[in-house]
Amino acid sequence: MCELDKPDNVVEILEKSVATYPNRPFLGMKDKIGNYPWITYTEFGRRVDNVRSALALLGIAKDDAVGIISNNSINWAICFFATLGREARFVPMYESELLSVWRYIITDGDVKILFVSKKEIYEKVKDMVGMGKLEKIILIDGEGPDTLSEIEKKGAQNPVPSIRPDQSTIGILIYTSGTTGDPKGVLLSHGNLSSNSHARIKKFPEFDKDERTLSILPWAHVYGLGELITFCQIGASSGLAESVTTIADDIVKVKPTFLIAVPRVFNRIYDGLWTRMNEEGGIAKKLFVMGVESAKKKRELAAQGKSSFMTNFKF
């Protein structure tokens, strides 16, 4: 087996960042009044510890599968890291999927414990307990029996240390959309996930703890998941976009230094910013136009190995 850069597992990546950047903000999520409160690495690590311990109490062990039906959220990330700390594999699903797709993935993926984001989804899947290997469904939103809040309390009372998996241990099972038939599952090991993160950091050596991203892509896809892991590894922070339609407003509030997305998303951001600038007009629009033109010039010069003081100043 080849020797990978260390850490070679996602559990250790998180735990090293919790120890190195305890008071730095890790994840931010928009609240009901439109603000972005942040959870620190210490707070996040503590919640991961509690959920991991709860999963141990529920019998989750090496190579078991823990599923989730949820959009990106702080709780999604907590369940992900907690699952990996039990040497188990995470099986993410989209809230927008058909019931038949959830049923197929839960069965095909041998999901043993399933997290669901809200009551509406719980009502659709609650009768799946006993199907395949599914033993229990845990509601993320709310209080009471079989909720995330309740199992966190039990986990805090019965702490179980993390297990740092071998690089060959499977960390996540990601399913395709299944447009040509049933969804196809892809197994990714801790070595896959950690080596990709190391490669990103080497590719962008300017990355450091002061970076901030607006997380747009779904973590249920490997591209978005890579963003989560890498920004965790460097001690940086990620604000979660509320939706594709609110990105322009979310950028203003999160103030990202870096954006990771697909072209379609960038086109939407660009169009949204032009709409906003045309509405505001005046000096704001003039500065925006100057910034866009300077960015184009800066990119052209960089391609020629050149730079310009005035262009950099305007940018």
Q: What is the pLDDT of residue 61?
A: 98
Q: What angle do CA 171, 106, 115 make, to 5 degrees?
A: 70
221 contacts 176 by C-beta, under 8 angstroms: no
Give me the residues paired with residue 69 across strands.
93, 116
Q: Is residue 71 part of a domain?
A: yes
Give me the residues paired with residue 133 across strands.
none
Give the separation between CA 102 and CA 154, rounded to whole angstroms: 28
117 contacts 111 by C-beta, under 8 angstroms: no
The residue type found at 230 is T
Count the Cβ atoms, other than its own, within 10 Å of residue 153.
13
Same domain, 210 and 70: yes
Instruction: Name the domain count of the chain.
Output: 2
Q: What is the pLDDT of residue 295?
A: 77
Give the separation between CA 149 and CA 39, rounded to whole angstroms: 16
Beta strands at 237-240 and 25-29: parallel, antiparallel or unpaired = parallel
Q: What is the pLDDT of residue 244?
A: 83
Same domain, 140 and 287: no
Give the relative orientation of helices 41-57 and 148-157 as an angle to the nearest 10 degrees: 90
Report the candidate in 232, 199, 194, 227 with the shortest Cα–Cα distance to residue 6: 194
Q: Is residue 89 part of a domain?
A: yes
Q: Which domain holds residue 304?
A: 281-314
112 contacts 56 by C-beta, under 8 angstroms: no
Sign of the alpha-carbon torsion through 232, 238, 244, 247: negative
Same domain, 51 and 20: yes
Q: What is the pLDDT of residue 160?
A: 98
The residue type found at 126 is K
Same domain, 298 and 251: no
Give the separation between CA 286 and CA 274, rounded to whole angstroms: 11
Q: Is residue 203 part of a domain?
A: yes
Give the separation between CA 196 and CA 203, rounded to whole angstroms: 10
18 contacts 35 by C-beta, under 8 angstroms: no
Q: What is the pLDDT of residue 285?
A: 83
Tokens of 15: 């735990």
Same domain, 58 and 133: yes
Same domain, 256 and 196: yes
- Residue 175: give its domain's CATH number: 3.40.50.12780
Q: What are phi and psi of 161, to 5 degrees?
A: -65, 155
pLDDT per residue of the chain (315 residues) written in tens, 0 to 9: 578 899 999 999 999 999 999 999 999 999 999 999 999 999 999 999 999 999 999 999 999 999 999 999 999 999 999 999 999 999 999 999 999 999 999 999 999 999 999 999 999 999 999 999 999 999 999 999 999 999 999 999 999 999 999 999 999 999 987 667 889 999 999 999 999 999 999 999 988 999 999 999 999 999 999 999 999 999 999 999 999 889 888 999 999 998 888 787 778 777 877 888 888 888 888 888 888 888 787 777 777 777 776 655 555
Give the separation between CA 110 and CA 132, rounded to whole angstroms: 7
Same domain, 296 and 233: no
Give the separation between CA 161 and CA 304, rounded to whole angstroms: 53
Same domain, 297 and 159: no
Q: What is the pLDDT of residue 309?
A: 61
Sign of the alpha-carbon torsion through 78, 80, 82, 85: negative
Q: What angle do CA 34, 24, 138 make, to 5 degrees?
A: 60
Q: Is residue 152 part of a domain?
A: yes
Give the separation between CA 242 and CA 152, rounded to whole angstroms: 25
Q: What is the pLDDT of residue 302?
A: 72
Give the separation between CA 271 and CA 280, rounded to whole angstroms: 14
Q: What is the pLDDT of residue 235?
A: 98
**Residue owning tokens 């460097």:** 234
